[in-house]
Structure 1
């Protein structure tokens, strides 16, 4: 029987919510800042002929680091504990964001953005696993939805707040105003992590009821940090090596992004050969593969809007920079409702055969229609700010609602004891979309002088995602998820 009132897992949800919030303001701020730098022709954007493609490449390099650390993050969490990896992630995020404000040129700017991606990439798999560990099974979908609402709040705060911070700093700092958001957001992240470290612990009853070797209670910060640094150093060398080599050869930003995504299958092959016993259960599963591939479009859409939404609205008649940011923020704002709503719906249908899969397919299909509807509205020359805000908000509701459903379905399909590994693989493959989205969309915008083509491509990819979800076998999705993840706690005794 589940106790009523405020429980320990509610506190953990709150701390993880804050973790998502600061990690998303740190990464999302880059898009509006780059848009401002392009408009004002400042720093390394002063004489670039294809600014949106070049700006998108910076975003893609961040996501290359983010992508490559997904599986190692889940693996390290299973090995050294979920909580230490989460704490190290937010500390890493705050420091690299703060240092970005002090950077003096393009190379250091890119390097610090890649480092930010490498550090933040370990959050997802450990956050999802920590929720599964601490939450009563009947509330896991809700917990995932509530926690990841921090993503939406951070996304909205950065989309709207970054232009306001730039406007505030410009009279004092002039063309160096782009540094100010990095200073402030880095400090906020470091303050938040102090609260997370203090309050984000499992309940004493739960700690006593499980093995000390359980990743939900293990806390090996030293070894986790060393291993994280080793993986990050190797990936940083690979990413920057590709960047320098391709730049020297004069290759386009889009070409560089596709080379970076080629690292994903290479990493998967390497992991399969060196850690076969860990990887095989989550990789040689047909239904998980379909789910992983369907997530590519989710990350594409998230970072197409997350990186370029202000520019899209502004180009289609959305007014001044801050006004366009206000309209664009309605998409992220929808997640405050969408994330927990998706989690609640996910839990309601979990007992039904194929319940979560069907809900995920419906939400993905409706989102596809919303994207094409938004593209059609703009392409026909319409630019009413109220209608644009409504379309973005409605679209956001479906988009953010589908994510906790996808996460819970991943946990449902994953073998017991392999949640961190499965979530890491989900996001490793999904981030292919995030790596390509900013730069490919920027390239199409520079080539066509319009955001119409990128919007249509976004809708087509989401439609393919819906088909992949429908390909998951109905026989594979069973309500046994509740049995295999039931934890022996006072809230949920066995």
Structure 2
């Protein structure tokens, strides 16, 4: 596309704003599960009250969501390339709103598991289409900034879930009693449905050549989702029947990513081969496994970590960990802007990526050292977590822009879908393995150290990426 030179509000700004709001509700829907699980464990209510290791089971509930989320990454991007990115985005938000609402209306462990898997399946198609739509409508010199501004909505939704879930539960006690944990799902489900309707009205297609066929898109997505739902639930039931641990269930679920990648290579390798075989893209995919591990380790268990080490109430602990999340409001656009400033240099984005990952690794170990040696000052914890979050969320749009530059324009949806398919292995494993480490050792020290080690591995992987800038992004290769 030609770069827009007009001043003032442009059409791509409207797209940015709508996608920002979409990420707010999408992340609030998924992130509220962690505080809900923490509240249920602390109050010994619901289906976690009788669990032998409630931390491991609670982590598995988060992992099951990401199993569904992981498996629709590639189909979502693939169908976005075919039916329009806006179409799939609206479907994703509406789908997640419906399943989140029903999570709050229906009870029981099995129903909760099934609905969280369904929510993950619906939300899994958002990322690849969001990234592709930003790349499609944004002037090339503002690509990193656009990636960052939009995904700042992620941190707003994450922060809202961390800070607002417990107050919503408390507000629901007078009506729902011990089932007050359902209230956040009811509220967020309704809000998401409303947002989906607004996005459908506000997002108008710019490329009239790409049909926005909602019915065909829903039918095609549903076919994949039904199969994935059956597979995930079958694994869950079979594993429970033979007595596998929660960690082993999560490991098996993570292998679904490898199996599905094999299926993609066999059935669509000729069509999407460029995004499956490119060395730079493969390294970018692998780097994001530790990145997603870190995000969902902190997002799911952050409140429990701060509470265990610092004492105080769960509400206060969630407020402290929210400083890590809210830093993304600054970090996302800042990182995108910085990466745009160096995009013309050889390996410019890659080098910034390496520096940020190294700093991120350092801050993980600083926080670990502080809390494990008895540091309880919540102000100091909040400052460390804010700076850590600032760096983490700043590096995310750098990685996204790097992926966009290395992917063919007509296969961006497939590329971002593959990226998140692979990276969600980290999101699946982090909640349950970290929870199991906490349950086995009695503290979060070993889980924090593991997080730092994995981030260090990501830093080493990025070194292998070589400059390759796609001319379809409007930036000359060096």
Instruction: Provide TM-score, normalisation by structure 2.
Output: 0.97
Q: 1:146 aligns with which of 111, 132, 149?
A: 149
- Asked whether the equivalents of residues 353 and 479 of structure 1 are also in contact (C-alpha less than 8 Å), the reply is no
Q: Distance in 1 between matches of 2:387 and 2:213?
A: 43
Q: Distance in 2 between matches of 1:391 and 1:444?
A: 23
Change (3 A) 1:484 1:416: farther
Matches within 5 A, 1:329-340: 329-340=322-333
Q: Which residue of 1 aligns with 2:129?
A: 126
Residue 156 (str. 1) matches residue 159 (str. 2): yes
Deviation digits for residues 410-452 of structure 1, max 9, x if unmatched? 0001123110010001100000000000000000000000011
Structure 1 segments of 4+ aligned residues over 4 angstroms from their partners: none
Residue 50 (str. 1) matches residue 25 (str. 2): no
Q: Which residue of 1 aligns with 2:71?
A: 68
Q: Distance in 1 between matches of 2:209 and 2:295?
A: 36
Q: Distance in 2 between matches of 1:438 and 1:279?
A: 32
- What is the CA distance between 1:220 and its match in structure 2? 1.0
Q: Which residue of 2 aligns with 1:257?
A: 250
Instruction: Provide TM-score, normalisation by structure 1.
Output: 0.94
Residue 482 (str. 1) matches residue 473 (str. 2): yes
Q: 2:321 aligns with which of 306, 322, 328?
A: 328
Q: Which residue of 1 aligns with 2:310?
A: 317
Q: Which residue of 1 aligns with 2:386?
A: 393
Deviation digits for residues 262-319 of structure 1, max 9, x if unmatched? 1111111111111112331011111111110000011000100111111111111241
Q: Which runs of 5+ in 2 are unaligned?
A: none
Q: Which runs of 5+ in 1 are unaligned?
A: 486-494
Q: 1:34 aligns with which of 29, 37, 45?
A: 37
- What is the CA distance between 1:173 and its match in structure 2? 2.6
Residue 79 (str. 1) matches residue 82 (str. 2): yes
- Asked whether the equivalents of residues 353 and 478 of structure 1 are also in contact (C-alpha less than 8 Å), the reply is no
Residue 166 (str. 1) matches residue 157 (str. 2): no
Q: Which residue of 2 aligns with 1:453?
A: 446
Any idea what SS the aligned residue of 1:472 has? Answer: coil
Aligned residues: 473
Q: Distance in 1 between matches of 2:117 and 2:146?
A: 30
Matches within 5 A, 1:67-216: 67-202=70-205, 206-207=206-207, 212-214=208-210
Q: Which residue of 1 aligns with 2:264?
A: 271
**Aligned-CA RMSD value:** 1.2
Any idea what SS the aligned residue of 1:417 has? Answer: helix
Residue 7 (str. 1) matches residue 47 (str. 2): no
Q: Distance in 2 between matches of 1:245 and 1:367?
A: 39
- What is the CA distance between 1:169 and its match in structure 2? 2.0
Q: Which residue of 1 aligns with 2:296?
A: 303
Q: Distance in 2 between matches of 1:194 and 1:286?
A: 40
Q: Distance in 1 between matches of 2:233 and 2:372?
A: 38
Any idea what SS the aligned residue of 2:6 has? Answer: coil
Q: Distance in 1 between matches of 2:90 and 2:472?
A: 28
Q: 2:396 aligns with which of 390, 395, 403?
A: 403
- What is the CA distance between 1:180 and its match in structure 2? 0.7
Q: Distance in 1 between matches of 2:169 and 2:473?
A: 48
- What is the CA distance between 1:240 and its match in structure 2? 0.3
Q: 1:25 aligns with which of 19, 28, 35?
A: 28
Any idea what SS the aligned residue of 1:178 has? Answer: helix
Q: Distance in 1 between matches of 2:149 and 2:230?
A: 36
Any idea what SS the aligned residue of 1:177 has? Answer: helix
Any idea what SS the aligned residue of 2:356 has? Answer: helix
Deviation digits for residues 237-283 of structure 1, max 9, x if unmatched? 00000000000000000000110111111111111111112331011
